[in-house]
Structure 1
Amino acid sequence: MKRRLFIQKGALSGSFLALGGTELFALQNTVNPMPKHHFNLNYAPHLGMFKNSAGNDPIAQINFMADQGFTAFEDNEMRNREVSEQNRIAEVMRSRNMQMGVFVAHKIYWTTPNLTSGNQNLRDEFLSDIKASISVAKRVNAKFMTVVPGYIDMTQNINYQTAHVIETLKQASALLEPEGLVMVLEPLNFYNHPGLFLKESGQAYQICKAVDSPSCKILFDIYHQQIQEGNLIPNIDACWDEIAYFQMGDNPGRKEPTTGEINYKNIFRHIHKKGFNGILGMEHGNSISGIAGEQAVIDAYVACDNFI
């Protein structure tokens, strides 16, 4: 029996040795395929973006992203997923050496004031959500979580509202700092989200400076800021030291780069030249449906990433 096993092992070894370099490389890559593309920045797709190509299973979708060369992944709904699914997602990201991007840290109030109001019960609710999100972040190895301060309070002067928001964010930062986690404040444009308190990059910059914490930074969404204020590269430079995360979408339409008016190749070149090594979330839809549309998204990022 031992002799037979020895002969079988020897034959197997011989068959590997008989393979040429190309054949052996191909065999190795059936287990751990080399990515199709090597991007200069850490672009992060989201679940559903490649469902036609990869199927409905989140794990298959993340593997597809990694196979294409994407090195990060984001999921706004991560906080609401079952713990078992969070663990599965965390495991595949570890195995594929992918970073976890943002998830939404709390309940967002789209039409009624919360953080702007100064109401203690609403502040406590927000801080409770932050505590719960810390557990999620640890589970999925995430560093960043999105915070939207919510709706403007028409009954209060804007300066009092700003003070209420800053105080709440200071208390949240005290929870996040010991864990090495970062909430990123996302200004949203007036057209898609009328009535929200936080709209402009300069406003977010002012708040982050007032909170004065490494756990309170800016999520600069290029799509939102193109609509809200334009002047993208100068505004990125103006609040650079408080930006921790980017998101993208072309305008009009909020689809992949190259479908609208934003020169993403120049913006990506500028961000790369400044030394940014963080995550850029692909928070947009696909301009074309089906597998063809998903390939168009990949092609757009390959084209815009060709800036060196």
Structure 2
Amino acid sequence: MNRGSFLKNSALAAGAVLTGNAVLGSTATSCNNDNNLATAAAGKTFNLNYAPHDGMFKNSAGADFLDQIKFMYDQGFRSIEDNGMAGRTAAEQEKIGSLLSKLGMQMGVFVVDKGGNGANTLAAGKQEYIDIFLKGCRQAVEVSKRCGGKLATVVPGDFQRNLPLDIQNANVITALRKGAEILEPHGIVMVLEPLSDTPDLYLRTSAQTYMICKGVNSPSCKILYDMYHMAKNEGNLINNIKLTWDEIGYFQIGDNPGRNEPTTGEVNYKNIFKFLHEKGYKGVLGMEHGNSRPGKEGEQRVIQAYRESDNFIG
């Protein structure tokens, strides 16, 4: 999966692509309208709570993540996400948490360290793998205290193909229940993320993840609905969100193909954002994607794309 490398290279919790004319229009009038929209909205908050990540605005704000967070705030963003938070020093975590608190910003997801992967898949039911996962959950409690984050991403790992699928399901549910017992007293929610990176991954669809969450039966076990991965694995995004709504704890964004900002692929994010707003979603939406263009120009295009896609009221 190599999620950390992706974020470096491209860069709840508490709570789509634009139409063809906006994306493909090449007239000076349409381009000027888009630029005027972004300029007029600069600094204003959005209708939904989008969360950039470390590196997304490094050309505009510098390499220091704290400076990037201040830049994000100035552009109207009110949350961040940081998959690699658990790998930062305690001092870094505390500085980030302090700055977010000062600015009134939220912390989105961070990844539970070794929270299930191909090397220690929870589907296997092996105690040594469960112990690694639970150690990550206990670490997540300490990370949460320092940075203020209450959402922790968990990926159960790969299929254990020598076991019947229902046995694998039972093994995953059993392990996640143990993790929820650690996290629930602290108000931390592990969000399970179905992925598209490889067919070996155990967790692949929203319906499967919904079933697992129902089996765990804890407020500390919900779905991370990454719309990039689900566009690849199952499509029919709005309908599948409706079907699994009561177990969704977090959303992530990325257009497909390319895994870049909205307006660069085929997903109608403007319609999806409108749907989520009408459903009353108040949580964070992580911007877990790259920038389609390099440098400061590309970073401004990311901001502009969110202004365009967030412009669904009226």
Could you state the TM-score of these two structures normalised by the residue count of structure 1? 0.87
SS at 1:217 equivalent: strand
Aligned length: 273
> Residue 242 of structure 1: which of 247, 250, 265 is its match?
247
Amino acid at match of 2:161: M
Q: Deviations over 1:216-270 (max 9, x none)?
A: 0000000000000000000000000000100000000000000000000000000
Say whether residues 1:267 and 2:272 are aligned partners. yes
1:92 deviation in Å?
A: 1.0
Where does residue 65 of structure 1 map in the other structure?
72
Deviation at 1:110, TM superposition (A): 4.6
2:287 counterpart (282, 285, 308): 282
Are the equivalent residues in 1 in contact too, given 2:190–2:222 (CA < 8 A)?
yes
CA distance in 1, matches of 2:312, 2:47: 9
Is 2:98 the counterpart of 1:107? Answer: no
Equivalences for residues 39-78 of structure 1 within 5 A: 39-78=46-85
Q: CA contact under 8 A between 1:36 and 1:67: conserved in structure 2?
A: yes
Structure 2 vs 1, CA of residues 129 and 111 (structure 1 numbering), >3 Å: closer, same or farther? closer
Corresponding residue for 2:3?
none
Q: Is the 8 A contact 2:124 2:168 kept in 1?
A: yes
What is the aligned partner in structure 2 of residue 14 from structure 1?
A: none
Q: Which of the pair has more CA radius of gyration? A: 1
- Are the aligned partners of 2:227 and 2:254 in contact in 1 as well (CA < 8 Å)? yes
- Deviation, 1:109, is 5.4
Task: Tell me: higher relative CO, structure 1 or 2? Use CA pairs within 8 A at least 6 residues apart.
Answer: 2
- Given that 1:40 and 1:305 are in contact with CA atoms closer than 8 Å, whether structure 2 keeps it comes out as yes
Take 2:160 and 2:141, find their aligned partners in 1: how far apart are those partners? Answer: 28
Tell me which of 221, 225, 230 is aligned to 1:220.
225
Give the 3-state SS of the residue equivalent to 2:257 in structure 1.
coil
TM-score (norm 2): 0.85
Kept in 2: contact 1:44–1:280 (CA 8 A):
yes
Paired with 2:173 and 2:43, the residues of 1 have a C-alpha distance of 44
Name the residue aligned to 1:174: 181
Q: Which amino acid aligns with 1:37?
A: K
Output the CA distance in 1 between the equivalents of 2:112 and 2:142: 11
* Aligned pair partner of 1:162 in 159, 166, 169: 169
Aligned equivalent of 1:87: 94
Paired position in structure 2 for 1:194: 199
Q: Distance in 1 between matches of 2:193 and 2:117?
A: 13
Q: Are residues 200 and 162 of structure 1, via their aligned partners in 2, closer, same or farther at CA, if it must alter by over 3 Å? A: same
**Deviation (angstroms), 1:149:** 0.2
For the pair 1:120 / 2:127, whether they are aligned, the reply is yes
Verify the 8 A CA contact 1:113 1:152 in the aligned structure 2.
no
Give SS of 1:239's match.
helix
- Amino acid corresponding to residue 126 of structure 1 in structure 2: F
- Which letter does structure 2 place at the counterpart of 1:117? A
Q: Secondary structure at the match of 1:297?
A: helix
Q: 1:67 to 1:150 in 2, by over 3 A?
A: same
CA distance in 2, matches of 1:107, 1:306: 38
2:211 alignment partner, one of 200, 206, 212 = 206
CA offset at residue 36 of structure 1? 1.2
Partner secondary structure for residue 241 of structure 2: helix
Q: Which runs of 4+ in 1 moved over 4 A?
A: none
Please list every run of 5 or more consecutive structure 1 residues that lacks an aligned counterpart in the other structure.
1-33
